[in-house]
Amino acid sequence: MTALATDTAPAARRLGAIARQRRRVAVLTLAGLALLAAAILAGICLGENILTPGRALNALFLGTGDRGEVLLVGRFRTPRVLSAVIAGAGLAVAGAVLQRVARNPLASPDVVGITGGASLGATAAVALGLAAPLTPLAALGGGLCAATILGLLAVQLDGSHASPRLKGGINPTRLVLVGLAVQAGLTAAVNLFIVRFPAELASSALHWTTGSLYGRNWNETIVGAIATTAALTAAFALHRRAAVLDLGDDAAGALGVRPGTARLQLLAAAVVLASLAVALTGPVGFVALAVPHLVRRLAGPPTAGTLALNALAGALLLLTADLVAQHALPLDGLPVGVVTATLGAPFLLALLARQNRPDPRTVR
């Protein structure tokens, strides 16, 4: 009887830990939804012409009230707010997926070059005078190209076979080092395009490359929402495969999951999400890197619930940063990317410092 109790004790503790994590995720999700709703309301109310919540909501949903207010809320403020929510959710989930697959807490689209590739694609589209609806496709193509270059350089190849095969997957250290080099090269290419722009385009392009939500319209927002929702759905559908990969390649193969194929699918979802966000807002930093770390510290190990919480936290963080850039700082027209980069620089330094110390919390 004592042996039976001893055998069941670890299982009981495990079930208790799972139940506690689910409650914690539920509480954090409810709190996040409330904060996001408040931030969205603030986004449509605040500005040079401050509206009460009732007037703003009536103008948005009923089209009633002053015609200027209806135009202001419906045409200018709401697309900007929704674009921040969409891009923030996509960036955060992309960062969480990339960190989990690469098993590296420093891996994020803005560190390893994916956002740089997407930015180059979008900037090239502007430089070549392509139609505005083609900019998201150009950003997606640039992100995919950057991810391909990164994969070719960062994956270890076993040269002892006639046909090279993946050996041990992705080297986490090489991934970050190569990614930083790729990001630097792509940033230089973007700057070259800007220098070669006609004078009338250079200013707007430079403003966009710092990460900005200015001037978003409904067409861009709707297309971004549809595409990002599809990519988020794919990322959530692949969650079980990510959980199996956490067990190791041998165990994943025994359970019927091909590790290489599963990683490529997860990485593709992350690249698409990051590229779509860049097409919508420009290369906004910090969100994809920081949000997964914050969620892990607050909610625990990765699950489907914490992945949803990443999307919620990313949306809240980017929207809040945009509100700070618009209303809390004395500079007019400050891009949101400046705010997130200001927050991200010390966070990245602290994260690098932590890598030199043993930490029981690891990315699984």
Q: What percent of the chain has pLDDT over 70?
A: 84
Mean pLDDT check: name the lowest of 76-80, 134-138, 177-181, 265-269: 134-138
| pLDDT range class, residue 323, cuts 50, 70, 90 | very high
**Residues linked to residue 166 through DSSP beta bridges, in sequence order:** 157
Q: What is the pTM of this model?
A: 0.86
- Would you kindly state where each structural domain of the chain is located, as residue ranges? 22-354
Give bridge partners of residue 158 from the DSSP assignment.
165
Task: Extract the tokens encoding 204.
Answer: 């707007």
CA distance 290 to 148: 24
Tally the C-alpha atoms within 13 A of residue 98's C-alpha that lie toward its C-beta.
34
Among 11-15, 85-89, 170-174, 210-214, the range scoring the smallest mean pLDDT is 170-174
User: Where is average pLDDT lowest: 41-50, 149-158, 203-212, 279-288?
Assistant: 149-158
Spatial distance between the Cα atoms of 215 and 120, rounded to a whole number of angstroms: 20
How far apart are alpha carbons 145 and 364 in whole angstroms? 27
Q: What is the per-residue pLDDT across 147-180, written as a single tens digit (0 to 9) for each?
A: 888 877 766 543 434 333 444 455 566 777 788 8
Burial 106-139 (b: 16+ CB within 10 A, else e): bbbbbbbbbbbbbbbbbbbbbbeeeeeeebbbbb
**H-type alpha helices, the chain:** 2-45, 53-57, 67-71, 78-102, 114-127, 135-154, 172-196, 199-209, 218-237, 239-245, 249-254, 259-281, 287-299, 304-323, 336-354
Question: In this predicted structure, what is the pLDDT of residue 107?
Answer: 81
Distances (CA, A) of 264 to 143, 154, 240: 14, 14, 14
For residues 150 and 107, is the Cβ–Cβ distance under 8 A?
Answer: no
- Cα gap 22→14, rounded to integer Å: 12
Query: What is the pLDDT averaged over residues 83-105?
Result: 90
Average pLDDT over residues 171-195: 79
pLDDT category at 45 given cuts 50, 70, 90 is: very high
Q: What angle do CA 8, 364, 181 make, to 5 degrees?
A: 170
Instruction: Report the alpha-carbon distance of residue 274 to residue 338 in Å, rounded.
Output: 18
Q: What is the pLDDT of residue 91?
A: 94
What CA–CA distance (Å, rounded) separates 115 from 122? 10
The listed CATH number (3.90.180.10, 1.20.1630.10, 1.10.760.10, 1.10.3470.10) that belongs to domain 22-354: 1.10.3470.10
Contact yes or no for 262/244 (Cβ under 8 A): yes
pLDDT at 161: 40
With 60 as the cut, is the pLDDT of residue 86 above it? yes
Give residues with Cβ within 8 angstroms of 105, minimum separation 6: 99, 293, 351, 355, 363
